[in-house]
Structures are given as C-alpha cells and as structure tokens.
Amino acid sequence: MKIHAKEYRVLGQRDPMIYGHFIEHFHRQIYGGVYDPGNPLSDEDGLRTDVLSAMRKIHVPILRWPGGCFVSSYHWKDGVGEERVPLFDKAWRVEEPNTFGTDEYIQMCRKIGCEPYICTNAGTGTAEEMSDWVEYCNLENEGQYAKQRIANGYEEPHKVKYWSIGNENYGWWEIGAKDEKEWGRLTLEAAKMMKHVDPCTELSAAALTDIDWNVNLLKNCGQFLDWISIHEYWDPIHETNDGADYDACMAYTADIGHSVRKVKGLLEAFGLEKKIRIAFDEWNLRQWYHPKVHCIEQGVTKEEYVVPRDDNDINSQYTMADAVFTASFLSMCNRNCDIVGMANFAPIVNTRGCIYTYPDGIVLRSTYHVFDLYVNYLGDIVLDTWQEEVPVKQMKRIDGEIVEVEQLDVLVTAFSDHAGYAVAAINKSADEELSFTLELDAAGTVTVDYICGDSTEAYNDVDHDGVVIQHKELGIFESGMMITLPPHSVNVIRIGVEEV
C-alpha cells in the first residue's frame, strides 16, 4: 500500500470544536458524575476535580448542555437562584433536583476552559423562554433576567456564544415534537428574538438528513442560522444493550460521513454552505441503553426502566471497537473541515462516555485515549491524501447488510504554528498487521503513539488498564518509508515534531 500527501494540497484548517463533548441530565452524567457534592474528590462547588482534570487534559473545546431529550421539557428558570424545587423529568421519568443549573454549568465550563453551548427547550418551551435564557446569560444589566443573574451572585455576564434551538424535535420520541412546517416557524421566531437580545450569538437548530425538514428550516430561518445540528448513533441498542461485535462496528465505518455529505449538499443547494456550518453535536457509536422509555409501551416499575440504565456503565463494553470507530469518525470530521465546524461526543461522563466515575476515582475508557491522541498529537492543517492498493474486506452490519470496508484509514496533517507532520493511521483489521509506505516530502525523527490493546475486546476498568497509549521511535524519516501498524489500532505518527 502507498499513501501520498503534498504540503501544498491543503483541504483546510480544522476547527478544534470538532473535538467537543456533550453532557445531559441522564442517569449519572451530572449527579454522581461530574457533579458530586460531598465526595472528597469534589471541590467547593461540588465538581469532581479528577473529572475536570481529565477534561482539561484533552482540552475540551466546547461542551453542549443540558440535553438531549431532557431539555425538551426543561425550564431553565427552575434551575437558578436560591429557591429550587425538584420537578419530574418527563423525558427520562425521574425526579430532577434542579441543584445543577445554568450557573453551575457555566462554572464548570470556566474551570475546564471550554466554551459553553446551551441547547434550548423547543419542545414545551417558547421562543420567548429561549430568548429570556439569552438575557440571563448575556445581557450586562438590562431587564429582569440580567438583574436576576446579578442577584444570584454573577455580576459579569456569562457571555454564552453558542446556542442551539431544540434537540431532535423531528422525532416522535421527543417531548413536544414538531412537523416540518411547525419547526420552520418556531425556529424563525426563536432565532429573531435570541438575536435581538444578543446579535453576537451563534445559533444552531435541530435538523437531520430529511429533505422536507431541512427545506422548511432553511427557507424560514436560514438567514438567522450559523450552524445546522445533526445527530447520529450507529449501533441501535437502546432497548437491548446488546452491542455489535468488532467486525459489525467496523462495517459502520464504511460510509461514516453520509450525513455530512447529504446535509452539505442541501446547504449548497440553498447557497448557504459559506454561511452555515454543520454542528454534529451529538454522536457516538452506540445508542444509550434506556429500555421502555422511548417506546409506546412504557415501563411500569423502576426495575423495568430506571435500574437497567446502570448497565451503561459496564466498562468491559467499551473496547477497541469503540476506539477505532471513534478515530474513524474524527478523521472524517477533519477531512470535512470545510463544512463540519463542531462535533460533540455524547456524552463525556458515564453512560457511553469516555470518562467513568466511581466514588474513589475515574476510569479513562478506550475512547478517551483516542481524543488524547487526536487533540494532543495531530496537527490542525488537513492535507489531501490519496492512496493505492488499500485492502478491502466485506463485513456484515448488525442489520445483515454486507458492506466493503477499507482496512486502512490515513489522515495526514501539518501544523500552523511549527514544522512537522502528524499522521493518524487506523488499522481496522481485527487480527492482521498492515504495512504502508508514506510518500511525503518531510524530514526528521519519526515517533508513533498508539493504542491497540491485546485484543479487539481490550478495555479499561477500575484496576484494569487494557488500553493505554504506547510509544515507539522509528528513526529518521525518508519519503517512501514503510510503516507497520498493529491490528485493531489507532496510531499517530509524528515526523519532525518535537515530543509533546
């Protein structure tokens, strides 16, 4: 196999926000996850310091909150101030204590060093309620909501730049679902009011690859939008928690960018591809496990629909399959840096997240190390690459469809602020090493940082580190150098770059 790249053939500069994350009021993501007052590992604001440190290590650039399905019946005013009353969360059918609200979220973002990204209630909420939230966060002192924020102890505005109108409001499962025409009108009115409060906000709106939905959205509201939001989970196991095996997960990577391609085509048809970018603001390989909630026949007892959610946190589920898929998705976002400006891994803590919490510490799952490699080792300038003789294998998806999957995925990057190259190379083969020659005009020492584990089923758990970043040196680079990748591995090859 041969991989070719030239420094002058540049696809673009990726936005660091493609390495974003998401957190929702679901199961242990907030309460008992990142927010755990009384735990010895928590700070004076109840935030887990070990979790914050792990987030900072991967330089989380943006964090979407509070949902997710949760937000479509969430009223932000219940979660600010001294008097907070617990309410019933109709999306997930549990009590929401409202002790973690807007101000606590902003505090968390400031401690991480990331941009806040608030998703608004477009289910049971109104355009006015959404714009009131912008008032609370962004106005200096005008009006009742800015004054309320000041009275709550926050003299300076929170300055939240990124806002999303709604979450999956196209889906029948969503509280307050809408049809295409309803959605076009609501987003228009919400966007007008939110921009009237703060013209510097950047707005997104819930969308999918459906033509009718997006046509109504863009016709009505395209002039006000900066982003269009899409979501995708590939492994449909929310009722079973019976995850696809390694080969089936690799089959999902065969056309991992199909949603981006379709939405980009619609934006181009409207002439909006230079104005509106894609925010892939909720994604993961595997759907969250929440049986008997997003269905017609609801669970009756908590043993049916709440207790099973604990099974999301069986750490042995998160293997090299999840890591290799995650790397494939991030490489796709890099290649589409002209249109994809944000992506949010869902979620960051617990459930299917890359960080797992327990009372005495955290576990960094396999996917965490992928973000570590891509954020801390790759460059920001994406080069065009072309390849010869990459092996293809037929693989079966969980629905039985047979697809052809290229076994090697290579992304070549350079750096805007210093010399050198960094190459993300993914070997999807379960059991075979893959070797390729890299045709690149570069010089200097070659190092490889990688994860692979001792099998496709390698995982991390409390007192068990099956997947860790390993390092090796390959000597001095010459164009045409042969590089060999272990099976089921994610690798970042750095050429002429000082060690991080």
- The catalytic residue positions are 168, 282
| Structure-token pair, residue 64 | 């979407």
| Structure-token pair, residue 303 | 């043993």
Distance, CA of 207 to CA of 9 (rounded, Å): 32
Distance, CA of 404 to CA of 322 (rounded, Å): 19
Contact, 442 vs 422, CB < 8 A? no
Contact, 411 vs 385, CB < 8 A? yes
- Backbone φ, ψ for residue 375 (5° rounding): -75, -45
Distance, CA of 313 to CA of 311 (rounded, Å): 5
| Structure-token pair, residue 213 | 């939905």
- The secondary structure of residue 316, as a DSSP letter, is G
The amino acid sitting at 405 is V
Q: Per residue in 118-150, is it b (16+ CB within 10 Å) or e — as a string?
A: bbbbbbebebebbbbbbbbbbbeeeeebbebbe
SS (H, E, C) 422-479: EEEEEECCCCCCEEEEEECCCCCEEEEEEECCCCCCCCEECCEECCCCEEEEEEECCC
Distance, CA of 355 to CA of 274 (rounded, Å): 35
Distance from chain centroid for Cα 337: 15
- Backbone φ, ψ for residue 48 (5° rounding): -70, 115
Residues 6+ apart with CB under 8 A from 265: none
- DSSP secondary structure, 366-414, as one string: HHHHHHHHHHHHS-SEEEEEEEE---EEEEE-TTS-EEEEESEEEEEEE
Distance, CA of 259 to CA of 208 (rounded, Å): 8
Distance, CA of 492 to CA of 333 (rounded, Å): 16
Residues 6+ apart with CB under 8 A from 242: none
CB atoms within 10 A of CB 303: 9
